[in-house]
Structure 1
Amino acid sequence: MTLIVYLHPFSSYSQKAITAFYEKEVPFTVKLLDNSEPVASEFAALWPVKKFPVAVDEDRLIFEATGIIEYLEARYPGAARLIPQDPLEAAEVRMWDRFFDNYIAAPQQQIVYAVLKGGSADSEACVPWRRELETAYAVLEKRMAGREWAAGESFSLADCAAAPMLLYADWTHPIDPAFKEVRAYRTRLLARPSYARALDEARPYRHLFPLGAPEGRD
């Protein structure tokens, strides 16, 4: 029986999770969360928090994108590893996973929320979030010098997080050309077959991006 994943393809955290499925070549069944019934009510009953993605493996509920990837790693250890076996290397991968969620995705989403509430992405209220992104870009620029992936020698959980977070961050607050390492890393992520597949599945929903999806930055 394949895992069931409740998601929306345009969600950054949904993309993060399914990139891991594609990377590990683990089959799954999608339950699309587009407010249609009966899936919407089914999801609300299953997970009242109503945050997605959420996965179900028989009678086991797995929530949060990182939690789903951790579960996949434990459930299918023979497939492409996304978390190293070495404890210190694994700690580094998990640390950089949190970096992308907390210091790239979080401020980016605050800017989007401001627009959804009727504000402007260029407003004074969004200045702190833009500064946070600039700081994160600068940190990542130093980190990626001489590196292909965020942690370790191979594509990992951290890169599953980085791909959608940097996609939408650049749409929201463009990565300055001065951050050459960050821009090159983003390009590698978008070209990774596992993430490219997730990105293609999201294309029909680009009209949903509140700031307008830019041309030529995907």
Structure 2
Amino acid sequence: MDLLLYYHPLASFCHKVLIALYEQGNEFRGELVEPGNPASREPLLDIWPVGKMPVLHDVGRGVAVPESSIIIEYLDRHHPGDAALVPADPDIARETRLWDRFFDLYVQQPMQKFVLDRLRGEHERDPRGVAEAAATLDTAYDMLEAQLEGRAWAACDRFTLADCAAAPALFYAGIVRPFPPGHHNLARYFERLMARSSVRHTYDEARPYFHLFPYRDAMPEHLLAPEGR
């Protein structure tokens, strides 16, 4: 199999790429990288010494591609599905990339601040940093509520790279900092994302690892149970 994805099934940026792979119907093999297992990291470090996931290894073309957004653009060009995840129209493509970066920088990153802070010892906590992250998320939620007015998807009238970024960002952010009451556009958008088959597939695979998530006690039961239960 030509496509290998170095990933961890609990990692949100890995989820972003998995969603894209399932959207496009690409066959690939997942190479599980366990942060505490040096042996599992060696193949990743051989092709990307930075060691961060996800990294896509296109064996057939001899190319290693890091960084989630760049991986998805690479798949669009070299392993496209039925519909491009970055639209061909340059103006819509710009909007798509903008909202992709928005979810990564203003939803994913502050969400990770909450998670990393909970993993620290009591004397290492950063309450000021967490408060700043909460304020960033609140601003992001307000902006998304306005952006999603009359829209089914984040950047245009169909599912794109931006929505691949949105699903994992909002999945975890909504746990550490729940969406404000009255943000109905945002809540309905999240429901649409979670109903998407590529997203459901990704979280079905992630579910056995949820017990490792530091905010496991705050996860809503409907996210913990497989679909249909």
TM-score (norm 1): 0.94
Q: Tell me the residue number matched to 1:158.
A: 162
Count of residues in correspondence between the two structures? 218
Q: Percent of aligned positions with the same letter in both sequences?
A: 41
Task: Give the match's secondary structure for 1:169.
Answer: helix
107-116 vs 161-170, which moves further: 107-116
- State the distance in 2 between where 1:10 and 1:66 align: 18
Tell me the equivalent position of 1:143: 147
Deviation at 1:39, TM superposition (A): 2.9
Q: Name the CA distance, whole Å, in 2 between partners of 1:11 and 1:93.
A: 22
Give the Å deviation of 1:216. Answer: 3.0
1:95 and 2:98 are equivalent in the alignment: yes
CA distance in 2, matches of 1:78, 1:27: 11
Give, as a single letter, the amino acid of the residue that structure 1 aligns with 2:130.
C
| Distance in structure 2 (CA, Å) of the matches to 1:115 and 1:204 | 21
Instruction: Tell me the equivalent position of 2:111.
Output: 108
Q: Structure 1, residues 52-82: CA drift from partner, whole Å, max 9, x if none?
A: 0001112101001111100000013453221
2:75 matched residue in structure 1: 72
Classify the secondary structure of the residue corresponding to 2:64: strand
| From 169, 179, 185, the counterpart of 1:181 | 185
SS in 2 for 1:164: helix
Q: Distance in 2 between matches of 1:76 and 1:162?
A: 22
2:197: which partner in 1? Answer: 193
- Residue type matched to 1:214 in 2? M
| Partner of residue 204 from structure 1, selected from 187, 200, 208 | 208
Q: What residue in structure 2 maps to residue 216 of structure 1?
A: 221
| 1:43 equivalenced with 2:47 (yes/no) | no
Which range is displaced more, 27-36 or 65-74? 27-36
**Which range is displaced more, 111-120 or 185-194?**
111-120
- 8 A contact 2:3–2:56 mirrored in 1: yes
Partners of 1:107 and 1:65 in 2: CA distance: 17
* Cα distance in 2 for residues equivalent to 1:43 and 1:215: 33
Runs of at least 5 residues in structure 1 that lack an aligned partner in the other structure: none
Contact 2:26 2:81 in 1 (8 A): no
Three-state SS of the structure 1 residue aligned to 2:221 is coil
Structure 1 CA distance for aligned equivalents of residues 67 and 41 of structure 2:
18
Do the aligned partners of 1:52 and 1:64 also contact (CA within 8 Å) in 2? yes
Task: For residue 6 of structure 2, give the secondary structure of its aligned residue in structure 1.
Answer: strand
Distance (Å, rounded) in 1 between the aligned partners of 2:222 and 2:101: 24
What's the Cα RMSD here?
A: 1.8
Task: Report the Cα distance in structure 2 between the residues aligned to 1:106 and 1:39, rounded to whole angstroms.
Answer: 25
Aligned 8 A contact 1:115 1:210 in 2? yes
Contact 1:3 1:55 in 2 (8 A): yes
Q: Which residue of 2 aligns with 1:2?
A: 2
Gaps of 5+ in 2: 224-229
In structure 2, relative to structure 1, the CA distance for the partners of 1:132 and 1:2 (3 Å cut) is same
- Of 81, 84, 99, 1:81 maps to 84
Which range moved further: 176-185 or 132-141?
A: 176-185
* Counterpart contact for 1:100–1:161, Cα < 8 Å: yes
For 1:133, the equivalent position in structure 2 comes to 137
